Amino acid sequence: MSKKQSRMGKRGWLTALLGAYILLQFLWWASLLVRQQRQIFELNNATDEKLNQAIRMIIGEGLVFFGLLSLGFIIIWRSIKREMEQAQKERHFLLAVTHELKTPIAGSQIAIDSLKKHEWDTQTKNLLLDDAQAGLTRLEQRVENILQNNRLISGKEMTKVLFEPEEIVTHVMQRHQVGPYQERVIELRNEIFEAFEIEGDADALALAWGNLLENALKYSPSNEPVIIAIAQTDDGLSVIFDDGGNGIPNDQRQNVLRKFERLKDSETSGTGLGLYLADQILKMHKGKLRIESNERGGSRIATWIPKST
């Protein structure tokens, strides 16, 4: 457990103890007040009806105060609990980022060291260069994810330019057909048959589509092709990623779109930012991201953005 989590845990228990003490003191003072009212009414020879009326008023007001006080402590407790859960997610994220950054750096370093220390034939040199390039590409993707997450937090506006979506999608494919994915089949089904431009942040969309393609490659077997379908619609652009993996269960489809969240029981490493950022970038463009199942039993992630954002 981190120091931050430990502090929040202590603060939570302190709040709970303080709340319990205040509530017990409140009940004790309410009991004393009722007893005092009874004695006053007895000294004044008041009727039982007036006494009962006064007691009912005290109990009614006390219950309202007790309810509001209890509600306040429940809200505070839930807030502390959410902070603890968020701190746990951030801790896992930092550990995942450390792994995700170290792995490509180490792979690229090994490839470069091998090229420097040994004389290799042309084929082996090309393989080592491909490994180094793959590591740098993966590292670049991770850094871009972190930077984009910081842009979202700071509320920076996107840069709008006109661009051809086929070029962006083709570039995304080329970037990911290296290293462990260089033998993977990525099939592009282009249904744009004329010059077509769309306005938006090309770099952000390239990151979003790159994350979706990487997920499709990562979570599907090597013998299954990943299909990318790009099409011009009446009111915008559709880009769909179709893989042959195990798919995303219905009850987890909204959860995986949240920051730092990943598929339950997943054995594949990750930061929990890929789908979240893709969804947020699509929303920045007033678009949509929808997770479905395909005929192969895998995932079909459909994205759409309007012509003008």
| Mean pLDDT computed over 152-179 | 82
Tally helices (H) and strands (E) across the chain. 6, 7
Say what the pLDDT of residue 186 is. Answer: 94
Instruction: Provide the pLDDT confidence category of residue 44 given band limits of 50, 70 and 90.
Output: low
| Cβ-contact 241, 289 below 8 angstroms | no
| Mean pLDDT computed over 128-132 | 80
Express each pLDDT in 193-229 by its tens digit: 777 888 888 888 988 999 899 889 988 998 999 999 9
Q: Which CATH class is domain 161-306?
A: alpha beta
Give me the residue spans of the domains in the chain.
3-89, 104-154, 161-306
Place of tokens 């105060």: 65
Q: Is 260 left (phi over 0), alpha (psi -120 to 50) or beta?
A: left
Q: What is the C-alpha to C-alpha distance for residues 290 and 300, in angstroms, rounded to an integer?
A: 8
Say what the pLDDT of residue 216 is. Answer: 92
Identify the three-state secondary structure at position 253.
coil
Of the listed ranges 32-46, 182-196, 287-301, the least confidently predicted one is 32-46
Instruction: Provide the pLDDT confidence category of residue 95 given band limits of 50, 70 and 90.
Output: low
pTM: 0.63
